[in-house]
Amino acid sequence: MVRTPRAAYTGPERRMAPRPLDNACTTCGTLMHPHRGSLTLPVNGEVIRVPGCSFLLCPKCGETITNYEQTGYLFDRAHELYREKHHLLSPSEIEQIRERHGLTQAALAKLLRLGANTISRWESDRMVQTAAMDVLLRLIRDVPETLKFLRRHAA
């Protein structure tokens, strides 16, 4: 007798449940509709309102869903608005400071007593520096003695 593996069996007791629609609400199953409006995202513990976002909205329960591109826009714009509000350096300005002093991302992270990947996250806009770190970066940029001090006192 030849046995059929369970995964290959297509008899009546092995039928798959119907696949939900791509634009069905994950909370209540209602058909979602394209919408444009404001979404919020926390940045460094502060909720940032981002206007002009595209997303799917459930008319029944209010659930929102964004696709990959829409999520990218939300994160990028929230970081940009947070930086503008708090007058923080941009990712490219942070990179310029680091490169002007001949530092690698790892070396700058060590001087600032940060995790090894933090500078990379700042420079690639995956994370925004705090106001305190921004001040320290500006000191490194504008006051040459700051880097000497940090080198003497780095962990």
User: For the domain that residue 64 is a member of, what is the CATH number?
Assistant: 3.10.20.860
Domain boundary among 44, 64, 86: 86
Give per-residue pLDDT as tens, 118-134: 999 999 999 999 999 99
In a domain, 18, yes or no: no
What is residue 4's predicted lDDT score, i.e. its pLDDT? 39
What is residue 154's predicted lDDT score, i.e. its pLDDT? 73
What is residue 38's predicted lDDT score, i.e. its pLDDT? 96
Residue 64 · residue 57 · CB < 8 Å? yes
Give per-residue pLDDT as tens, 137-155: 999 999 989 999 999 987 5
Angle 85-89-92 from CA coordinates, rounded to 5°: 130
pTM assigned to the model: 0.79
Confidence of residue 22 (pLDDT cuts 50, 70, 90): confident
Residues 6+ apart with CB under 8 A from 55: 34, 35, 36, 37, 39, 64, 65, 66, 70
Token digits for 15?
């039928």
Q: Which of 7-21, 89-103, 104-118, 140-154 has the lowest mean pLDDT?
A: 7-21
Token digits for 134?
């921004």
Mean pLDDT along residues 10-15 = 52
Q: How far apart are CA 26 and CA 32, in angstroms?
A: 10
Residue 29 · residue 59 · CB < 8 Å? no
Q: Is the pLDDT of residue 7 over 70?
A: no
Query: What is the tally of structural domains in the chain?
Result: 2
32 shares its domain with 69: yes
**131: containing domain:** 91-153
Helix residue spans in the chain (DSSP H): 68-86, 91-100, 105-111, 118-123, 131-142, 144-153
Residue 116 · residue 144 · CB < 8 Å? no
77 shares its domain with 119: no
Give per-residue pLDDT as tens, 29-73: 899 999 999 999 999 999 999 999 999 999 999 999 999 999 999
